[in-house]
């Protein structure tokens, strides 16, 4: 019964290494979840050693990603980032003023608590057929169930009560706000990346790579927001030089990392 034995930290998992539990690799980006991309980008940005465990198993709050670190189990990407920053005395926002940090928090909330939901609706509800064909190998019953849960959660959150046209516009407005704030800058707050870049990169990566091409916002990002597009490429080159090895290249290979 060896495989039922719970792994022991230090014995089976290396000490001082984050064990990052996340969904399996995505077809065109390292994950189909903006939060998994966000957290893994943070670990790379902060140079924290980590190991991936790719599975659909969810963490202590019923969600993914989640981590184990020296025996501590934690859920929620933002709580994990705060915890690790405190434990390891890392501050990716050191160069920011109080006002800038407040603005960074506001943008993190906008992408994680708002934009995230419109992407879910586009992918799993409005364009579910296209998603089934091009973005997932899950059987249609699973996709239907994900769609049903998405409808319930977005109804609870509020945004699911809007019409598809309204949600399209909301998503475009959020992307426009990001592009307008970014302007000519290399990263959200200047020449150096900061913590909020992880969240922005994570959520926008889903619009860029993991919604069907029939979604208006994907075309809008490609055609109307060149600075935001260039920013996405810049983040990818800076933190994901091994990007290709972290995707299944459209289900044609196994991801090697």
The binding site for other proteins (CB under 8 A) comprises 61-63, 75-76, 79, 98-99, 101-103, 105-107, 109-110, 113-114, 152-158, 161-162, 166, 173-174, 176-181, 183
Element (H, E) at 133: helix 128-134
Shortest Å, Cβ 89 to other proteins:
19
Instruction: Please give the structure tokens belonging to residue 162.
Output: 């809007």
Residue 51 neighbours by CB under 8 Å, 6+ apart: 13, 14, 17, 18, 19, 20
Considering the complex, state which of residue 44 and residue 169 has its C-beta at the smaller distance from other proteins.
Answer: 169
Q: How far apart are CB 29 and other proteins at their closest, in Å?
A: 22
Q: HEC states along 144-165?
A: HHHHHHHHHHHHHHCHHHCCHH
Asked if 76 contacts 61 with a C-beta cutoff of 8 angstroms, the reply is: yes
CA distance 160 to 127: 14
Tell me if 58 sits within 8 A of 66, measured CB to CB.
Answer: yes
HSE-up (13 A, CA, CB side) for residue 16:
2
- The residue (of 48 and 115) whose beta carbon lies closer to other proteins is 115
Least distance from C-beta 63 to other proteins, angstroms?
7
Residue 178: CB minimum distance to other proteins, A: 7
Closest approach of Cβ 221 to other proteins, in Å? 15
Q: Which residue's CB is nearer to other proteins, number 166 or number 237?
A: 166
Whichever of 178 and 217 has its CB closer to other proteins, that residue is: 178
For residue 65, the minimal CB distance to other proteins (Å) is 13
Q: Is-contact 123 131, C-beta < 8 A?
A: yes
Task: CB nearer to other proteins: give 15 or 63.
Answer: 63
Q: Which is nearer to other proteins, 44 or 162 (CB)?
A: 162
């Amino acid at each position: 019964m060896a495989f039922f034995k719970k792994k022991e930290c230090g014995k089976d998992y290396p000490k001082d290494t984050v064990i990052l539990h996340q969904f399996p690799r995505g077809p065109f980006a390292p994950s189909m979840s903006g939060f998994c991309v966000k957290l893994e980008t943070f670990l790379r940005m902060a140079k924290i050693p980590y190991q991936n465990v790719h599975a659909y198993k969810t963490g202590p709050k019923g969600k993914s990603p989640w981590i184990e670190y020296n025996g501590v189990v934690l859920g929620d990407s933002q709580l994990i980032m705060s915890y690790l920053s405190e434990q390891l005395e890392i501050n990716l926002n050191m160069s920011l003023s109080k006002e800038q940090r407040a603005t960074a928090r506001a943008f993190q909330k906008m992408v994680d608590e708002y934009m995230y939901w419109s992407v879910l609706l586009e992918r799993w509800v409005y364009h579910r057929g296209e998603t089934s064909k091009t973005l997932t190998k899950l059987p249609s019953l699973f996709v239907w169930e994900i769609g049903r849960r998405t409808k319930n959660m977005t109804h609870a959150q509020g945004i699911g009560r809007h019409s598809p046209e309204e949600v399209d516009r909301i998503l475009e407005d959020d992307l426009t706000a990001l592009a307008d704030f970014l302007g000519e800058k290399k990263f959200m707050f200047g020449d150096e990346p900061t913590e909020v870049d992880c969240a922005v990169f994570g959520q926008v990566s889903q619009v860029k790579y993991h919604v069907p091409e029939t979604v208006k916002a994907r075309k809008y990002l490609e055609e109307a927001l060149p600075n935001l597009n260039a920013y996405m490429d810049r983040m990818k080159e800076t933190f994901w030089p091994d990007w290709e090895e972290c995707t299944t290249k459209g289900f044609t290979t196994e991801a090697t990392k």
